[in-house]
Structure formats: structure tokens, C-alpha cells
Amino acid sequence: MLVPKIALPLMAGLSLSGCMTSGDAPIASNASLVGVEWIVEDINGRRVIDNARATLMFGADGRLSGDTSCNRYFADYQVNGASLEFGHPGATKRACVPAVMDQEQRFLEVLNAVDRYDIDDTNALVLYTPVGDKITARRLTGSDE
């Protein structure tokens, strides 16, 4: 089986830091992230494909896990004040149809570059990169399942 190219950036290392607004105040707490499955609805201005969810799940044990749209991924995470760092990543290596693989690659590329996050006034989790790329996700609700 061929290893999809998108797994390589994730396997090479997921190093995210940030979570800052102006000043040193954190914009969200660890508690606002933990124990909630976040469903990605937008990757850098493009809606996600129906039935090809990308997700983020921050565990109380310091582990991030989820779906990339095709594969499962995981990484350690740590919140220190206003910073969020990821390390020790891994992912499965399934191949999917080209449109889903493209979405997965876009998700991983943006996720790899994230340096801050916010929970906006609509309760969406927004992950930002230094160049303005972003991922927007919403909490899974009973009607989403």
C-alpha cells in the first residue's frame, strides 16, 4: 500500500504554539477545549466535504486525537498559560478518494502551521496560522451524530 503524502508532514512532527491575543492573556482555557469533539466545518475558507469529517478531540490526559477526513491522527498536547504545544504525532496511512485526500492534506498543512486559537463569540474553535490561514470547528452536538 502506498503511504499518502499527507501523512508525512504529520509524522515528521506537529509543532504548534501560541494561543495568544494582544498582551499575555489566554484567549481560552484548557477546560474549554477538553472533552469536546470539535467538528471541522471550514479549512482555510473552504467548507469540508459532507461525510468526510475532520475532527479534533483534546483529552484531559494531554492527548489530541481525531480524524483527518480519511485517517486517524494523534499527538500529545500541552497548554501552558496562553501557549498550546503539540508533540509526538502519529497517523494511520489509509488511502481515500482524491477529493478526500486533498481535504486531508489541506487540514494537516494548516494544522501544522497553527500558532494560536480562539473560541469566538459563536462558540466556534478557530485555529490560526501566522499567515492568516485558519481552521474553524464547532462542538459536536447530539443532532450532529
Q: Which helix (H) or strand (E) holds 122?
A: none
Tell me whether strands 116-119 and 134-139 are parallel, antiparallel or unpaired: unpaired
Question: Does the pLDDT value for residue 96 go beyond 70?
Answer: yes
Note the pLDDT of residue 73: 93
Note the pLDDT of residue 32: 81
What is the rounded CA–CA span in Å between residue 109 and residue 54? 13
- Domains defined for the chain, CATH in brackets: 7-144 (2.40.128.270)
Question: Does the pLDDT value for residue 94 go beyond 80?
Answer: yes
Give the global pTM.
0.76
% residues pLDDT > 70 (the chain): 72
